Structure 1
Amino acid sequence: MTTNQEIAVLYDEDAIAERVDAIAHAIAAAKPQRLLVVAVLKGSFVFAADLIRAMHRAGLAPEMEFIHLSSYGAGTKSSGTVEILRDIESDVSGRDVLLVDDILESGRTLSYARDLIASRGAMSVAIAALLDKPGHRVADLQADYVGFTCPDKFVVGYGMDAAHAFRQLPYIGCLAEAEQ
């Protein structure tokens, strides 16, 4: 994988910033109690960072945690099995929890994470997904907050990668030669 491949921009920096701000304001309007934001690593880290800063501007002061789940391994398609690589450390009992992920596709990973957090006593578990790809959904799951509905393309940038490349891009795009 070379980093000089041609990338078609799907969502530019301004469009992303506008959606992140809108999501933060919608979350603030829901008036969460003792909000704990749980970013699903690795792909969501840029979105999660921008989102909690936007939440601050919207008047919220959430705590932040990270969970590292994997259902892809080294591939571009979900294996169907979710594995916890790193768990959260915070007690979620009686708290509103917001799971933040880069992309909601099959729904397996976020469904697993939502059920795990709920089973630990969270008052509520909401989901914020930067991208929603409903065409491949196998789990009965919808995000509470969505940045964009994404076309059926393999996307990179803004934290999302292809073989560990392209996470640094400030926009979301698709590789010109990527196969689905």
Structure 2
Amino acid sequence: MPDSAPGMEAIEVIYTAESIADRIAVLAEGIAALKLDRLLVVPILTGSFVFAGDLLRGLHRAGLAPEVDFLSVSSYRDGTKSVGKVDILRDLKLDVAGRNVLVIDDILDTGRTLAFAKDLIAARGAAQVVTCVLLDKKTRRAVAIEADYVAFECPPVFVVGYGMDLASRFRELPFVGRIVG
């Protein structure tokens, strides 16, 4: 079902706000069941900020009180395809050595971003690195990596909304969708 606002392209909803909320509750319970002490949550910015915020609140409801730091990396620039190289735009401020770390990303696509973040954090001495993504788009994987926790499988289309963008647009949408027309 297309959704649009004045001056915007029509967006076909793929995952509703309600279905996302339901999956986040399940993910949070699963992550809490791991009983990871000294948990540090590391959202990969910018696309994961909405998902990470909701997941953090879900983790709180599940009884966790993690610390949070942010890692900002980019492999897309302003386009719709990965450029194949991951750059650190903002590094972590907290020390990860000896910590259990939950890395949160919006979409596991080529795998380069998540693999880079996981390897970086592991190389810095994290005790364990667990990964959680909103969407898993298996069709474009360039790096052998699987997320530990996945909310949804992503169809082979470019998606926007719920923090994900096209050239900094559509992040505010409360659902995941694709531009139509």
> What interval of TM-score do these two structures reach, taking the shorter chain for normalisation?
over 0.9
Q: Which runs of 4+ in 1 moved over 4 A?
A: none
TM-score (norm 2): 0.95
2:177 alignment counterpart: 173
1:64 equivalenced with 2:74 (yes/no): no
Pairing of 1:44-83 with structure 2 (within 5 A): 44-83=48-87
- The 2-side partners of 1:170 and 1:3 are apart by 18
1:4 equivalenced with 2:33 (yes/no): no
Deviation at 1:164, TM superposition (A): 1.0
SS at match of 1:46: helix
Aligned letter for 1:107? G
1:38 alignment counterpart: 42
Deviation at 1:3, TM superposition (A): 5.0
1:158 equivalenced with 2:158 (yes/no): no
- The 2-side partners of 1:161 and 1:81 are apart by 19
Aligned letter for 1:146? V
Deviation at 1:4, TM superposition (A): 1.5
What are the ranges of 5 or more consecutive residues in structure 1 without an aligned counterpart? none
2:111 alignment counterpart: 107
1:87 alignment counterpart: 91
The verdict on how the C-alpha distance between 1:3 and 1:124 changes in structure 2, with shifts beyond 3 A counting, is: farther
SS at match of 1:164: coil
Work out whether residues 106 and 136 of structure 1, in 8 Å CA contact, stay in contact via their aligned partners in 2: yes
The count of aligned residue pairs is 176
1:24 alignment counterpart: 28
Aligned letter for 1:175? I
TM-score (norm 1): 0.96
The two structures, once aligned, show a CA RMSD in angstroms of 1.0
What are the ranges of 5 or more consecutive residues in structure 2 without an aligned counterpart? 1-5
